[in-house]
Structure 1
Amino acid sequence: MIPQFDLYKEKWSVQSDDVIKPGLTAIQEALKLVGNPEQELQVVHIAGTNGKGSTLTFIEAIAKEHGLRVGKFMSPCILDVHDQIQVASMPITSAEMDFVFEQMQQGGLSGKLTDFELLTVAAFLHFVNSRVDVALIETGMGGLLDSTNVVTPIVSIIPSIALEHTKFLGNTIASIAHHKAGIMKQNRPVIIGEMSKEAKAVIYEQAHMKKASVLELGDQFYIESTTAGEMYTNDENGLTLTIVKRKMKGPHQAHNMALAITAFFEVATALNIPVILQSVTAGVQRATVLGRYEDVLPYVILDGAHNPASAEKLVATIREDLPEESITFVVGILADKDVEAVLRQLEQVSDCFYFVDIDNPRAMPAEELLQLSNAKEKYILQNSITFIKEQSRMQNRTIVSGSLYLLAEIRSALLSDDL
């Protein structure tokens, strides 16, 4: 379910299925009916288990500093469907969504697609209507059979690979890597982050078949901490760049930043624009993303650590940023995640957990989360908003984590209240 998406479907009598149907045939046929907008776009395509949204946000910030008009398609939403489709960092408006729905209605798309496929078409249409210079496209799930995989990108990016969505992608790293590698296109470069040998073997095999050059973090480009800041080095162009400070905290964000800088060189080449180093550093220093170690109230942080890999990164960030502080967690997670592994990670930095129910049919009940927790202090929380505001007032460091759906609920409620 995509919040507020049904309002437009009902208004314009455009039907779609609230199910997952991996495959490209349906969306390819639908895109033909609306003039193949995806073929008019300059695209950066990104797949991976973690780091997708942050990497795209870094690229967006760098591109904006270079004066480019940027479109961005992400999932899932933080607040509602509008923030999944953005141009110039502004969510699509109701009027703009009405316009693309009118285009899709006139194209005869009703009943032909799933919700996410329909939303993907809407994003492509909006980016063409808005005349973006570059479109940053994040896969919904996997890559090979994801509805976004109809584009021919300037460059593909795979920040990380770990077990996820095993029902659809397979239960081995190799099978999941195969799906992620599916976004690579013939003779187009791919940029990859740190990952296991098993995952890299699949990536390189697919890249060889598609004659796609591989730019790997730690091989063709590097990021390392120095006394002056973080130093980015790129052997391909002989560049060395020092980043003094990032708003997006955590050692993993340094890696995402390096991927983004490398990707922007490919974008600049494709668009035939010069890379301004001052604009690169300004962009990565200012970049922020909702729900990624986000300060939403004093002493309250939102972070969507919903799988073991992202939980591990959150723990590393806490140890770096809050080494002496006592942490209280407010947690809600979807039942199809590796819940126990996530909890074991978070329990390394806190012994106090409050579990909440999420308004989502896939959510694990708070009572079950409580039973799985090994924390010394663990409770079920009924009124999370009141509790979080009181924690902020009392200056008790609180981190809300788990599902992005939980973050959307809490963030919306906190920001709409008179605090």
Structure 2
Amino acid sequence: MEVRAAYDQALQYLYERLPMFSKLGKDAIKKDLTNIRKLCSAFNSPESGLRCVHIAGTNGKGSTSHLIAAILQESGYSTGLYTSPHLIDFRERIRINGKPVSREWVVSFVNQAKDVMEEIQPSFFEVTVVMAFQAFKDHGVDIAVIETGLGGRLDSTNIITPLLSVITNISFDHKDVLGNTLKEIASEKAGIIKPGVPVLIGEQQEETDSVFFEASLHKQSTLYYAEALWDLVRVGKDSDYQYYKAVHKAKMEIHDLKTDLMGDYQHHNIKNALSAAAILVAAAGLELPFGAISSAVSN
């Protein structure tokens, strides 16, 4: 069978056999992490030992994830990236150094996983998560950036122990699943905060600050706010780029920065990525020179 035909057949199996949130809503969501733990166990726990950054939030988590992954890759690290949903091709969800995993790899994984899937009856999202973990293991990445699907506490990605947790911001989102108030939603997303793992909050919000403070205190995790680490001042804009002065507040350094991300809201995502990089350097010992950061943000 040709690779494309085998790939289409593998996707058809996933779409038809597994419950999907886009089709069933909250009925497709598992109520705990039992299934994803069983799935990972069946694949010899590919998430174990994975160095990663875990990202949740209502808005901006996708752009922030891509920016952080680009910074890591530009700095010389072999980098995995898991995001959802995909726009055109399923393989967009799982990238290695910016490129989607191969169709051959997806076909091989699905064929290997069929018996396990029939036994455990996971959701579509759960399968994509373990697929990403396995891809990162098979390709030997140095580090991965992993975006939550929905919420945080019970999200299938939440079995990892990252180097850094990032929560971009909080607004009303899937109230039928996450809660009816910003505090309730923040509590769900704060579920990605792990003991002793630093956490970065992208935007300070009066309604949710106490939630993150209490969660980080309970987990003995150092709490950072992006606006306390970096400041971005837009100094120009043309048809192709926005131009910023980026101020590293701790080091009192000022850098010129340009980006082809044109939306006005993108400065929040860039600030999140710059702040995440600063924490990864300080807390995890990664080497992320500003030249690589600038190149990643520019492209």
Matched, 1:180 2:185: no
State whether residues 173 and 198 of structure 1, in contact with CA within 8 Å, keep that contact through their aligned partners in structure 2.
Answer: yes
1: distance between equivalents of 2:191 and 2:30? Answer: 17
Match 2:72 to one of 34, 59, 63: 63
Q: Any conservation in 1 of the 2:7–2:103 contact (CA below 8 Å)?
A: no
Q: Return closer, same or farther for 1:42/1:92 CA change in 2, 3 Å cut-off.
A: same
Question: What are the superposed Cα offsets for residues 44-78 of structure 1, whole Å, 9 maximum, x if unpaired?
Answer: 10000100111111112211211111111111111
Measure, in 1, the Cα distance between the counterparts of 2:273 and 2:69: 9
d(CA) in 1 for partners of 2:9 and 2:119? 16
Please say if 1:278 is aligned against 2:299: no
Q: 2:261 maps to what in 1?
A: 248
The alignment partner of 1:44 has SS state of strand
Please say which structure displays the higher CA radius of gyration. 1
Once the 2 structures are TM-superposed, how far is the Cα of residue 268 of structure 1 from its aligned partner?
Answer: 4.1
Counterpart code for 2:93:
Q
Q: Alignment partner of 1:142: what SS?
A: coil
Q: CA deviation at 1:229?
A: 4.3
Report what 2:117 is aligned to: 109
In structure 2, runs of 5+ residues without a counterpart are: 1-5, 21-27, 237-241
Question: Percent identity, aligned pairs only?
Answer: 31
* Residue 234 of structure 1: aligned partner: 248
The answer to whether the 8 Å contact 2:7/2:104 transfers is no
Distance, in Å, in 2 between the alignment partners of 1:270 and 1:191 is 12
Instruction: Write the letter of the residue equivalent to 2:288.
Output: V
Q: CA deviation at 1:188?
A: 0.7
Mean Cα displacement is larger for which, 177-186 or 55-64? 55-64
Structure 1 residue corresponding to 2:59, chosen from 20, 45, 50: 50
Which of 36, 52, 73 lines up with 1:27 in the alignment?
36
Asked if structure 1 preserves the Cα contact closer than 8 Å seen for 2:199 and 2:224, the reply is yes
AA at the equivalent of 1:122? M
- Report the structure, 1 or 2, having the larger helix content: 2
CA contact (8 A) 2:72 2:288 kept: no
Of stretches 260-269 and 28-37 in structure 1, the one that deviates more from structure 2 is: 260-269
One of 5, 10, 17 as aligned partner of 2:19:
17
CA distance in 2, matches of 1:154, 1:244: 26
* CA distance in 2 between partners of 1:225 and 1:10 (Å): 46
CA contact (8 A) 2:165 2:197 kept: yes
Q: CA deviation digits over 1:179-234, x for unaligned, max 9? A: 11111101111111224211111111111111111110222433233479423333
Q: Which runs of 5+ in 1 are unaligned?
A: 287-419
Query: Equivalent residue for 1:8?
Result: 10
Q: 1:165 to 1:232 in 2, by over 3 A?
A: same
> After the TM superposition, which residues 323-362 of structure 1 pair with which residues of structure 2 at under 5 Å, given as runs?
none
Check conservation: 1:222, 1:233, Cα contact below 8 A: yes
Supply the AA of the counterpart residue of 2:264.
P
Secondary structure, counterpart of 1:230 in structure 2: strand
Total equivalences in the alignment: 281
Change (3 A) 1:69 1:270: farther
> What is the DSSP-based 3-state SS (H/G/I as helix, E as strand, rest coil) of the residue aligned with 1:205?
helix
Pick the aligned partner of 1:88 from 86, 94, 97: 97
Q: State the SS of the aligned residue for 1:244.
A: strand
TM-score by length of 1: 0.62
Task: In structure 2, give the amino acid aligned to 1:167.
Answer: D
Alignment of 1:253-264 (within 5 A): 253-264=266-277
Q: Structure 1 residue 164: deviation in Å?
A: 0.7
Structure 2 CA distance for aligned equivalents of residues 6 and 206 of structure 1: 43
Task: Give the TM-score normalised by the residue count of structure 2.
Answer: 0.86
Q: Deviations over 1:348-382 (max 9, x none)?
A: xxxxxxxxxxxxxxxxxxxxxxxxxxxxxxxxxxx
CA contact (8 A) 2:246 2:257 kept: no
2-side partners of 1:212 and 1:222: how far apart? Answer: 23
* Alignment RMSD (CA, Å): 2.5
1:271 CA displacement: 6.1
**Residue matched to 1:190:** 199
Could you report, residue by residue, the CA deviation over 1:224-276 in whole angstroms, capped at 9, with x for unpaired residues? 3347942333344x152423321001332112111111212333456644332
Q: SS at the partner of 1:136?
A: strand
